[in-house]
Amino acid sequence: MKFPAVAVDQVLGLLKVVHNLGGRVDAMHVNDAVDADLGDLSHVIDAAEMLGLLRSSGGDLLLTESGKAAVEKPLRELQRYLRDVLQRVEPFTALVRRVAEAKRVSMEEVEELLRKYGYDERGVRRILNWAVFAQLVEIDDGQWVVPS
C-alpha cells in the first residue's frame, strides 16, 4: 500500500481532534468535528495508521501511545519518531536512498521518482513535505533536495 498523499497538518489535525474527544471516537463523529480542510478523511486515517499513530477498530478511531505522544509532546519528538518510521516506508525509502547516493538531487528528478509511485503534482509536494518535516531530506535553494 502506497503512502497516501495527504498533508502533514491533515494528519496532525486528525490526531488533535481524536485526542480532544478522549482518544477514542466513532469515525463518523470525527467527520462532523473535522474541518473540511482534512479532505478525504479515509486517506488521512490510512496515513495515521501507517505511521502507527492511530488504529481503527469497529468504526472507532483510537490514538496509539505514539499518537498520544505526537499531540502531547514537543514537535521535535514527533519529527524524530516520523524520521524513524518513514525511512522504512515507500516512497520515502527510495527518496532517501537516491538523495544519499547523489548528495544533491534536482526537484525535477525527485518529481520524476515520485511520479513512478503514482503521485500527481500535489502528491509529489505532499510527500516531499513529509520527508522535510521528518528531517529525512532538506530543500536547498528551492531547487535541490539534499540529505538532512
Q: Give, for all 148 residues of the chain, the pLDDT tens digit.
A: 789 999 999 999 999 999 999 999 988 777 766 654 455 788 999 999 999 999 999 889 999 999 999 999 999 999 999 999 999 999 999 999 999 999 999 999 999 999 999 999 999 999 999 999 999 999 999 899 999 9
- The reported pLDDT for the residue numbered 36 is 42
* Domains, the chain: 8-71 (1.10.10.10), 74-147 (1.10.10)
Per DSSP, the residues of the chain read -PPP---HHHHHHHHHHHHHTTSEEEHHHHHHHS-GGG-SHHHHHHHHHHTTSEEEETTEEEE-HHHHHHHHS-HHHHHHHHHHHHTTSTTHHHHHHHHHHHS-EEHHHHHHHHHTTT--HHHHHHHHHHHHHTTSEEEETTTEEEE-
Residue 34: per-residue pLDDT: 62
